[in-house]
Amino acid sequence: MPTQKATVAAKVLIVPGLYGSGPEHWQSQWERQHPEFSRVGQVDWDTPRCEDWIAVLDAAIRKENDNVILVGHSLGSVTITHWAFRYGRRIVGALIVAPSDTEAATFPEGTTGFSPVPTNPLSFPSIVIASTDDPYISFERVTKLAEAWGSKLVSIGARGHISISNGFGAWPDGIKYITELQHAS
Protein backbone atom coordinates (compact mmCIF):
# COMPACT_ATOMS: atom_id res chain seq x y z
CA MET A 1 0.00 0.00 0.00
CA PRO A 2 1.46 3.39 -0.96
CA THR A 3 2.21 5.74 1.87
CA GLN A 4 0.69 9.18 1.91
CA LYS A 5 2.84 12.18 2.56
CA ALA A 6 1.66 14.03 5.64
CA THR A 7 0.67 17.56 4.86
CA VAL A 8 1.80 20.27 7.20
CA ALA A 9 -0.40 23.33 7.50
CA ALA A 10 1.06 26.32 5.76
CA LYS A 11 2.68 29.01 7.88
CA VAL A 12 0.84 32.32 7.66
CA LEU A 13 3.20 35.24 7.17
CA ILE A 14 1.80 38.73 7.73
CA VAL A 15 3.27 41.24 5.27
CA PRO A 16 2.43 44.79 6.45
CA GLY A 17 2.63 47.87 4.28
CA LEU A 18 4.12 51.30 4.73
CA TYR A 19 4.67 52.16 8.43
CA GLY A 20 4.19 48.53 9.51
CA SER A 21 0.50 48.18 10.48
CA GLY A 22 0.02 49.60 13.97
CA PRO A 23 -1.21 47.66 17.02
CA GLU A 24 -4.92 48.05 16.22
CA HIS A 25 -4.61 47.16 12.52
CA TRP A 26 -6.34 43.90 11.60
CA GLN A 27 -2.97 42.33 10.68
CA SER A 28 -1.63 43.02 14.19
CA GLN A 29 -4.84 41.75 15.75
CA TRP A 30 -4.62 38.55 13.73
CA GLU A 31 -1.10 38.03 15.05
CA ARG A 32 -2.31 38.34 18.63
CA GLN A 33 -5.29 36.06 18.02
CA HIS A 34 -3.24 33.48 16.12
CA PRO A 35 0.19 33.03 17.72
CA GLU A 36 1.09 30.62 14.93
CA PHE A 37 1.08 33.56 12.46
CA SER A 38 4.33 35.49 12.02
CA ARG A 39 5.03 39.04 10.90
CA VAL A 40 7.65 39.72 8.27
CA GLY A 41 9.65 42.50 9.91
CA GLN A 42 11.21 45.04 7.60
CA VAL A 43 14.36 47.07 8.23
CA ASP A 44 12.75 50.41 7.40
CA TRP A 45 8.98 50.80 7.61
CA ASP A 46 8.97 54.52 6.82
CA THR A 47 11.20 54.85 3.74
CA PRO A 48 11.11 51.38 2.17
CA ARG A 49 13.22 50.13 -0.69
CA CYS A 50 11.66 47.39 -2.78
CA GLU A 51 14.91 45.42 -3.06
CA ASP A 52 15.28 45.34 0.72
CA TRP A 53 11.64 44.43 1.34
CA ILE A 54 11.58 41.52 -1.12
CA ALA A 55 14.91 40.19 0.22
CA VAL A 56 13.52 40.15 3.77
CA LEU A 57 10.30 38.53 2.52
CA ASP A 58 12.24 35.89 0.59
CA ALA A 59 14.30 34.98 3.66
CA ALA A 60 11.10 34.48 5.69
CA ILE A 61 9.56 32.33 2.94
CA ARG A 62 12.71 30.21 2.52
CA LYS A 63 12.80 29.63 6.28
CA GLU A 64 9.42 27.90 5.91
CA ASN A 65 10.48 25.95 2.78
CA ASP A 66 7.93 27.88 0.67
CA ASN A 67 5.07 26.32 2.71
CA VAL A 68 3.46 29.69 3.39
CA ILE A 69 0.37 31.75 2.89
CA LEU A 70 1.27 35.42 2.62
CA VAL A 71 -1.17 38.02 3.94
CA GLY A 72 -0.30 41.42 2.52
CA HIS A 73 -1.84 44.82 3.02
CA SER A 74 -1.22 47.92 0.92
CA LEU A 75 2.50 48.19 0.06
CA GLY A 76 2.96 44.72 1.62
CA SER A 77 0.66 43.38 -1.11
CA VAL A 78 2.75 45.05 -3.79
CA THR A 79 5.87 43.59 -2.16
CA ILE A 80 4.37 40.12 -2.59
CA THR A 81 3.90 40.70 -6.33
CA HIS A 82 7.47 41.99 -6.71
CA TRP A 83 8.76 38.94 -4.81
CA ALA A 84 6.73 36.63 -7.07
CA PHE A 85 8.03 38.36 -10.20
CA ARG A 86 11.64 38.18 -8.98
CA TYR A 87 11.69 34.59 -7.66
CA GLY A 88 8.85 32.77 -9.46
CA ARG A 89 8.60 30.11 -6.76
CA ARG A 90 5.36 28.42 -5.86
CA ILE A 91 4.01 28.96 -2.37
CA VAL A 92 0.67 27.82 -0.95
CA GLY A 93 -1.00 31.15 -1.69
CA ALA A 94 -1.38 34.85 -1.02
CA LEU A 95 -4.12 37.06 0.35
CA ILE A 96 -3.57 40.45 -1.27
CA VAL A 97 -5.57 43.10 0.58
CA ALA A 98 -5.93 46.69 -0.63
CA PRO A 99 -2.83 46.74 -2.83
CA SER A 100 -1.51 50.25 -3.33
CA ASP A 101 -1.06 51.63 -6.79
CA THR A 102 2.55 52.76 -6.48
CA GLU A 103 2.26 54.38 -9.91
CA ALA A 104 -0.62 56.68 -8.89
CA ALA A 105 -0.25 60.29 -7.82
CA THR A 106 -2.05 59.45 -4.55
CA PHE A 107 0.70 57.08 -3.40
CA PRO A 108 2.80 58.50 -0.54
CA GLU A 109 6.35 59.57 -1.35
CA GLY A 110 9.39 58.06 0.32
CA THR A 111 9.43 54.63 -1.30
CA THR A 112 11.98 53.37 -3.79
CA GLY A 113 11.64 50.78 -6.54
CA PHE A 114 8.02 49.67 -6.16
CA SER A 115 6.97 51.04 -9.57
CA PRO A 116 5.87 49.72 -11.89
CA VAL A 117 3.60 47.19 -10.19
CA PRO A 118 4.29 43.76 -11.74
CA THR A 119 1.53 42.48 -13.99
CA ASN A 120 2.80 38.94 -14.50
CA PRO A 121 0.59 35.98 -13.55
CA LEU A 122 1.37 34.71 -10.06
CA SER A 123 2.63 31.13 -9.81
CA PHE A 124 0.37 30.37 -6.83
CA PRO A 125 -3.29 30.78 -5.85
CA SER A 126 -4.18 34.30 -4.76
CA ILE A 127 -7.17 36.29 -3.63
CA VAL A 128 -7.33 40.07 -3.96
CA ILE A 129 -9.63 41.85 -1.49
CA ALA A 130 -10.52 45.34 -2.68
CA SER A 131 -12.72 48.27 -1.80
CA THR A 132 -14.52 50.29 -4.44
CA ASP A 133 -13.38 53.59 -2.89
CA ASP A 134 -9.80 52.92 -1.82
CA PRO A 135 -7.90 56.23 -1.98
CA TYR A 136 -4.66 54.42 -2.92
CA ILE A 137 -5.97 52.48 -5.92
CA SER A 138 -8.97 52.80 -8.19
CA PHE A 139 -11.30 49.84 -8.40
CA GLU A 140 -10.73 49.75 -12.15
CA ARG A 141 -6.96 49.46 -11.60
CA VAL A 142 -7.22 46.77 -8.92
CA THR A 143 -9.57 44.80 -11.17
CA LYS A 144 -7.01 44.90 -14.01
CA LEU A 145 -4.17 43.89 -11.66
CA ALA A 146 -6.14 40.98 -10.18
CA GLU A 147 -6.91 39.77 -13.69
CA ALA A 148 -3.24 40.07 -14.75
CA TRP A 149 -2.10 38.19 -11.64
CA GLY A 150 -4.70 35.43 -12.17
CA SER A 151 -6.18 36.23 -8.77
CA LYS A 152 -9.71 35.81 -7.53
CA LEU A 153 -11.08 39.32 -6.92
CA VAL A 154 -13.40 39.98 -3.98
CA SER A 155 -15.03 43.40 -3.76
CA ILE A 156 -16.15 44.40 -0.28
CA GLY A 157 -17.90 47.56 -1.41
CA ALA A 158 -17.03 51.09 -0.35
CA ARG A 159 -14.74 50.40 2.62
CA GLY A 160 -11.76 52.70 2.04
CA HIS A 161 -8.25 51.29 2.45
CA ILE A 162 -9.41 48.31 4.55
CA SER A 163 -7.66 49.58 7.67
CA ILE A 164 -8.46 50.55 11.24
CA SER A 165 -9.52 54.04 10.15
CA ASN A 166 -12.18 52.38 7.96
CA GLY A 167 -13.63 50.31 10.80
CA PHE A 168 -11.52 47.19 10.30
CA GLY A 169 -10.49 46.03 13.75
CA ALA A 170 -9.98 42.28 14.08
CA TRP A 171 -11.73 41.66 10.72
CA PRO A 172 -12.84 38.09 11.47
CA ASP A 173 -14.37 37.72 7.99
CA GLY A 174 -10.90 38.00 6.47
CA ILE A 175 -9.67 34.79 8.10
CA LYS A 176 -11.95 32.69 5.87
CA TYR A 177 -9.82 33.64 2.87
CA ILE A 178 -6.76 32.06 4.49
CA THR A 179 -8.74 28.84 4.86
CA GLU A 180 -9.80 29.07 1.22
CA LEU A 181 -6.16 29.44 0.14
CA GLN A 182 -5.09 26.52 2.34
CA HIS A 183 -7.53 24.31 0.43
CA ALA A 184 -6.76 25.76 -3.01
CA SER A 185 -3.27 24.36 -3.35
pTM, rounded to two decimals: 0.94
pLDDT band at 4 (very low <50, low <70, confident <90, very high): very low
Q: Does residue 123 carry a pLDDT above 60?
A: yes
CA dihedral 182, 54, 83, 161 (to 10 degrees): 70
If DSSP codes are grouped into helix, strand and coil, which group holds residue 140? helix
Q: What is the pLDDT of residue 158?
A: 96
CA atoms within 13 A on the CB side of 55: 8
Q: How confident is the model at residue 166 (pLDDT cuts 50, 70, 90)?
A: confident
How far is Cα 76 from Cα 141, in angstroms, rounded to an integer?
Answer: 17
pLDDT in tens, 58-91: 999 999 999 999 999 999 999 999 999 999 999 9
Question: Does residue 6 surpass a pLDDT of 50?
Answer: no
| pLDDT of res. 1 | 40
